[in-house]
Structure 1
Amino acid sequence: MIPDARFAVGIELSSGSIRMVALDLKCNQLAFQQFARPFENTEPAARELAGRLEQFLDDGNLSRERLLGVGITVPGIVNADQTVIEYAPTARIGKMSSIWVNRYIPYPTFLDNDATCGGFAEWWNHAEMENLAYLSLSRGIGGAILVNGSAYDGDHHRSAEFGHMCIHPGGRVCNCGKRGCLEAYCSATRLSDDLHITLEDFFAGLSAGNPAYQNTWETYLDDLALAVSNIHTMLDCNVVIGGAFPQFLANYQGALEDRLSRLNPFTDDGDYVHFCRYHDRSICVGAALRYIAKFIAQV
């Protein structure tokens, strides 16, 4: 197979930015761009997105004739026929039509949940894992369940919304309006916005021995371990952590595994947790991979 015979584009729309990636048939990155632009489901934003895509293709000297399609993700639940964004609390969106997202893009497109695509990217690159649960830790928290590469969506297309699993009944208020959700305790904002610093600042201070950061981090790891242990207990599969955190978490894998071993009701193992390979690009990579996987299956 000639890697550059075809390529696909993945676009991640989030509450803070737009990421675009182009991958060839061997999943080599051909181009990547990121823009500071919060997700909006409006006609002006749709026109802007289409224009940015065309500029992205031009900047990367990417031939439209070889483009398989454009996968687009949003930070929320998308219904089965991709016509409605059911719920996107981090983007402050309730139920609304998705008509504007891809309206002006003149190529094959599909629309999906961000974490579902991130999970697919990690499954694709973990050949040793037949099944996995993907936990995405960013400004919001999402997830995906992959069974032999196919996403388990649930009856209402909202499975694996791990961010809204209650870990502290009656606790902190979540973006969804409920109390005690995992997202209120383990999203990226817990260690950045809530402290009026960046994630980089937090982990630099943690490495330097800042006692307040150390106390916050110990509590954070306790909450994260509880959530990961619950997911593993329910699904009995490997758990891959993705999103904004893995680049920082690697140095603390031992501390997380120790907590998981103590929580495991069956064995003393905690080595079922892994960190994603694409870091904060998993989502847009997974969106592009959907077209590549389909093409390869048909060859």
Structure 2
Amino acid sequence: MGITTSELKQLNCDMVYRMIYENNGITKQMIAKELRFSLPTISQNLGYLLEQDKIHCSSHRAATGGRPAQLYKFNYNSRITISVELLANMLNVAAVNLAGEIIAESSLDLVFTNDPLYFETFSSWVNHFIASLSCRPEQILGITIAIQGVVDADQEHISFGTLLSSSTFVRTDFAQHFQYPVSLIHDAEAAGIAESWHSAPDMNAIYLSLNANLGCAVIVNGQIMRSRHLSSGVMEHLTLYPNGIPCYCGKCGCAESYCSANTLIRKSGLSLPLFFQKVRDKNIKYLPIWQRYLQDLALMIDDVRMVIGGDVIIGGLLTPYLTDEDLDSIKDSVYSLTTFKNADFTISKGKYGKKATLIGTALTRITDYLKEERLVD
């Protein structure tokens, strides 16, 4: 069966739209040359895309003068995703455009409780934030909530929510209060998605989120590895020291108890900014705490690399405090621990820092939209 006229017109429009997406700031003549379409066909499709607010048009005058060229640019704000980071004691919300850029954000101190009042307060605050954006409803792709817990394979239930003191709430507890689609994701997985975005197709890496609580994700061939029940993995609960410090998961000696930002706060009794001020001043009381932390982090990395022999990306709350010297120290310690001295790897700081969870949460919807629009494969 051949392609219909209507389908051909849609295909042509899709090709023009993708050309603008891949070459942001392109003239009508350049599109016609690349796609070998007639100028009237290009003009018709550009008119439709402008009408749909999917692209913008601006004038650009060349350095040599002459008539200004009309440049067509992708409208990254034509669609927006709302991402929410739900923590035990607070909420962070962001509006993220199709470029993965945060265009607005807000925070609210709110202790999580599994009761109707909490969900009503949550939804009221998020809906107020959405209203402040002055967006048309059709611009909003949906709301994705990153939680400090493991989301079950059905994407409806929480299989492990100890940090929130509950595993019995479900997606519909949130969704019933919104007119937009609502989904849940594990916060560490979301952060890993952000840091693997635009990565090389063959990239294998371990992502460590050094937030108040430790989070981890495994990146295989540029994609987040997911298991059936444990989301992207729970490497934070690897046992570093048998019979060690008790962990909130119920075990003792987990990496969480030694490699989270809370570990430094607990051991030093100081806030992170003050602690690192003391460390950089080489204070003899606090410098050993940091050095021991780096050694424990290296021990965890060596253990994980015995299974996933990739590079290491570090993100989260501690990212701004890490120096190149710290990263070199971690790598040197890993080499001193490992039997496989020839297994080279890199340790680097993530691109998005403590914003990785919010951005990665949004990307779950953004990438689906771009695929639906045939802008990415």
Q: Same fold (TM over 0.5)?
A: yes
Matches of 1:188 and 1:202, distance apart in 2: 11
The yes-or-no answer on 1:217 pairing with 2:293 is: no
Q: Which amino acid aligns with 1:83?
A: E
Give me the identity figure in percent.
Answer: 27
CA-based RMSD = 2.0
Partner of 2:221: 148
On the 8 A contact 2:94/2:106 being kept in 1, the answer is: yes
Pair 270,214 (structure 1): closer, same or farther in 2 beyond 3 Å: farther
Partner of 2:341: 267
The yes-or-no answer on 1:57 pairing with 2:130 is: yes
On the 8 A contact 2:153/2:231 being kept in 1, the answer is: no
Matches of 1:97 and 1:26, distance apart in 2: 30
Per-residue CA deviation, residues 166-204 of structure 1 (Å, 9 max, x unaligned), is 000111111112111001111111111443321111111
User: Gaps spanning 5+ residues in structure 1: where?
Assistant: none
Greater Cα offset, 124-133 or 55-64: 124-133
Per-residue CA deviation, residues 190-231 of structure 1 (Å, 9 max, x unaligned), is 111443321111111111221121111111111000111221
Deviation at 1:15, TM superposition (A): 1.8
Matches of 2:219 and 2:83, distance apart in 1: 19
User: Gaps spanning 5+ residues in structure 2: where?
Assistant: 1-73
1:160 alignment partner, SS class? coil
1:246 equivalent among 307, 319, 322: 319
The yes-or-no answer on 1:208 pairing with 2:276 is: no
Pair 132,40 (structure 1): closer, same or farther in 2 beyond 3 Å: farther
Matches of 2:184 and 2:119, distance apart in 1: 13
Deviation at 1:266, TM superposition (A): 2.3
1:179 alignment partner, SS class? coil
Deviation at 1:122, TM superposition (A): 0.5
1:198 equivalent among 260, 271, 274: 271
Q: Which amino acid aligns with 1:32?
A: E
TM-score norm. by structure 1 comes to: 0.92
1:211 alignment partner, SS class? coil
Partner of 1:171: 244
Matches of 1:157 and 1:169, distance apart in 2: 22
Instruction: Give the structure, 1 or 2, with the largest relative contact order (CA under 8 Å, sep 6 or more).
Output: 1
Partner of 1:280: 354
Deviation at 1:80, TM superposition (A): 1.2
Matches of 2:302 and 2:203, distance apart in 1: 19
On the 8 A contact 1:42/1:100 being kept in 2, the answer is: no
Deviation at 1:149, TM superposition (A): 4.5
On the 8 A contact 1:8/1:24 being kept in 2, the answer is: yes
**Number of residue pairs matched?**
299
1:88 equivalent among 147, 156, 161: 161
1:282 alignment partner, SS class? helix
Q: Which amino acid aligns with 1:289?
A: L
2:159 alignment partner, SS class? strand
Deviation at 1:98, TM superposition (A): 4.4
2:226 alignment partner, SS class? coil
Q: Which amino acid aligns with 1:282?
A: A
Matches of 2:149 and 2:140, distance apart in 1: 26
Matches of 1:40 and 1:122, distance apart in 2: 30
On the 8 A contact 1:41/1:101 being kept in 2, the answer is: no
Deviation at 1:91, TM superposition (A): 2.2
Partner of 1:232: 305
Partner of 1:34: 107
On the 8 A contact 1:264/1:270 being kept in 2, the answer is: no
On the 8 A contact 1:141/1:187 being kept in 2, the answer is: yes
